[in-house]
């Protein structure tokens, strides 16, 4: 079959594939990793595939339609997100009008959480995929190719005779080594220079060494809507093979970002991964999502293997709030973690949120105080973003703390994150004001500015990453984000 995999046009540089989709203040733009994995699986199964990332390349709908005519797809896969869902469905409808015999399926966290509601928006959409969708799309393509029964395709909801049919869920993939390298799909279809994460050297390549997360954080969207709360691992050998592939096939790449929900859950595996990279003589910087609790010795060997930085969700300075969100993290361990990271020479990007259950002005002050005391390399402060399919979304909705149910309001007209929650004591405006002030207080400290200047002087490889991020970020830092 001929298959179009599309990250559809919307706002310029709209980072749809990230956990909180938006146009970001730092210029962050995520690779369409899950869509790329699916494209690779379909190619491996013998289908002719074209992958288009419209926001990254600046393509409009007219370009997408003209390019699609060259392929004349039998199957069209369209990635979605909560704030762009109405746009995404509209794009699907336009493409269906252009290719009426083509089958259109929507994928992503939003449609996985709200399949019936999504299919009810526009009858031109044929189906949506639930959860992890690589093998779901492979099964769908095989069924369509033989004109089989859609009821046999696990993991989809579809429309039949005016009714919405929800098929049985598909089991999650157990042997992740069977999947093609997602970086090999990037190589064929994407320009890595389009993508940016301020936590990694630029340009970089994003991959994952696992799927799922065993922790119970109420707000985290991927484990609750796509990948599950189990923890499935690629073999260390398979991961390092891909790292080596990247170094050989992307000579311009300065770094790799491991987009696992938490790479550092299994310390023994972290050591094995680092030792394998060292043994093979692979030289490339890499960054990963991590949790508090990692010991110094593990960090030391990861640093030796090229680990440059961790992105860590500290979230709140209040232990009560951490417990309310089921974070399974202790504040005293955060200081031990930061001590180990600084001793090992690993940079930390700290993530902090406002507006969590039980939030007050006092607990927000505790969060800012914690950020200053931990003093990571970089930070982010955001009002909590809640998405359909998560415990957090259900809780805020049940308490009447969602200020809108119109999904397009999850971002501002310019595409920045909007605040759609309040707490029992705090308005959305107060949450935004705190985050704006917290960023200013943290970043405009004379000691921090001196540190950053010194970092760029003594570590010139940091200059490109820092300047690229600062170009847009400091504009918002000075004026605030608004709401």
For the chain, 483 residues long, give each residue's pLDDT as a single digit of tens. Answer: 999 999 999 999 999 999 999 999 889 999 999 999 999 999 999 999 999 999 999 999 999 999 999 999 999 999 999 999 999 999 999 999 999 999 999 999 999 999 999 999 999 999 999 999 999 999 999 999 999 999 999 999 999 988 999 999 999 999 999 999 999 999 999 999 999 999 999 999 999 999 999 999 999 999 999 999 999 999 999 999 999 999 999 999 999 999 999 999 999 999 999 999 999 999 999 999 999 999 999 999 999 999 999 999 999 999 999 999 999 999 999 999 999 999 999 999 999 999 999 999 999 999 999 999 999 999 999 999 999 999 999 999 999 999 999 999 999 999 999 999 999 999 999 999 999 999 999 999 988 888 777 777 656 766 665 565 555 555 555 555 443
Q: How far is residue 175 CA from its own chain's centroid?
A: 22
Measure the CA–CA gap between 83 and 71, rounded to whole angstroms: 29
**Cis status, amide bond into 203, omega within 30 of 0:** yes
Within-domain flag for 404: no
The per-residue b/e assignment along 11-27, b for 16 or more CB within 10 angstroms, e otherwise, is: bebbbbbbebbbbbbbb
CA distances from 340 to 117, 335, 376, 442, 453 (A): 47, 9, 12, 22, 23
92 located within any domain: yes
Same domain? For 306 and 450 the reply is: yes
In sequence order, the 6+-apart residues with CB closer than 8 A to the CB of 139 are 152, 153, 154, 155, 170
Whether residue 215 sits in one domain with residue 116: no
Is there a contact between 196 and 29 (Cβ–Cβ < 8 Å)?
A: yes
User: Whole-model pTM?
Assistant: 0.94
Tell me the C-alpha distance between 259 and 23, whole Å.
19
Number of structural domains the chain divides into: 2
β-pairing, 75-79 vs 210-211, is: unpaired
Residue 395 belongs to some domain of the structure? no
C-alpha 115/C-alpha 106 separation (Å) is 9
Indicate if 237 and 334 belong to the same structural domain: yes
Q: What is the CATH number of the domain that holds 59?
A: 3.40.50.280
Is the domain of 206 the same as that of 349? Answer: yes
> Does 397 reside within a domain?
no
- Full residue range of the structural domain in which residue 13 is found: 2-166
């Amino acid at each position: 079959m001929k298959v179009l995999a599309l990250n559809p046009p919307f706002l310029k540089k709209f980072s749809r594939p990230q956990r909180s989709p938006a146009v970001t203040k730092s210029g962050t733009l995520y690779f369409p990793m899950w869509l790329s994995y699916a494209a690779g699986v379909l190619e491996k199964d013998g289908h002719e595939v074209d992958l288009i990332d419209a926001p990254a390349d600046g393509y409009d709908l007219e370009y997408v339609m003209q390019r699609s005519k060259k392929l004349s797809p039998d199957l069209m896969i369209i990635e979605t997100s909560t704030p762009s869902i109405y746009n995404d469905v509209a794009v699907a409808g336009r493409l269906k009008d252009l290719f009426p015999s083509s089958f259109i399926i929507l994928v992503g966290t939003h449609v996985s959480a709200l399949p019936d509601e999504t299919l009810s928006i526009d009858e031109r959409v044929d189906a949506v995929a639930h959860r992890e969708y690589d093998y779901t799309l492979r099964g769908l393509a095989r069924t369509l190719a033989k004109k089989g029964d859609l009821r046999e395709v696990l993991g989809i909801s579809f429309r039949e005779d005016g009714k919405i049919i929800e098929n049985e869920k598909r089991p999650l993939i157990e042997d992740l080594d069977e999947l093609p390298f997602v970086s090999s799909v990037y190589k064929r279809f994407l320009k890595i220079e389009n993508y940016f994460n301020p936590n990694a050297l630029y340009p970089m390549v994003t991959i994952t060494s696992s799927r799922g997360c065993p922790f119970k954080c109420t707000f985290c969207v991927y484990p609750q809507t796509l990948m599950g709360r189990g923890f499935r691992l690629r073999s260390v050998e398979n991961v390092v093979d891909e790292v080596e592939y990247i170094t050989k096939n992307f000579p311009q790449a300065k770094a790799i970002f491991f987009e696992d929900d938490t790479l550092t859950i299994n310390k023994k595996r972290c050591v094995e991964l680092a030792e394998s990279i060292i043994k093979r003589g692979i030289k490339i910087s890499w960054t990963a999502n991590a949790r508090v609790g990692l010991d110094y010795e593990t960090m030391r060997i990861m640093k030796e293997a090229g680990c440059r930085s961790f992105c860590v969700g500290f979230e709140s300075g209040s232990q009560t709030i951490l417990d309310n969100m089921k974070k399974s993290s202790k504040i005293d361990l955060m200081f031990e973690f930061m001590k180990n990271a600084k001793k090992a020479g690993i940079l930390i990007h700290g993530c902090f949120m406002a507006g969590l259950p039980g939030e007050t002005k006092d607990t927000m002050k505790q969060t800012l105080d914690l950020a200053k005391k931990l003093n990571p390399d970089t930070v982010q402060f955001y009002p909590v973003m809640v998405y359909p399919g998560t415990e957090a979304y259900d809780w805020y909705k049940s308490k009447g703390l969602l200020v809108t149910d119109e999904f397009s309001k999850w971002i501002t007209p310019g595409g920045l994150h909007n605040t759609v929650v309040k707490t029992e004591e705090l308005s959305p405006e107060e949450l935004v004001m705190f985050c704006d002030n917290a960023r200013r207080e943290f970043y405009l400290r004379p000691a921090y500015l001196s540190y950053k200047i010194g970092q760029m002087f003594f570590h010139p490889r940091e200059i490109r990453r820092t300047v690229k991020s600062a170009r847009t970020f400091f504009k918002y830092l000075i004026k605030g984000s608004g709401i």
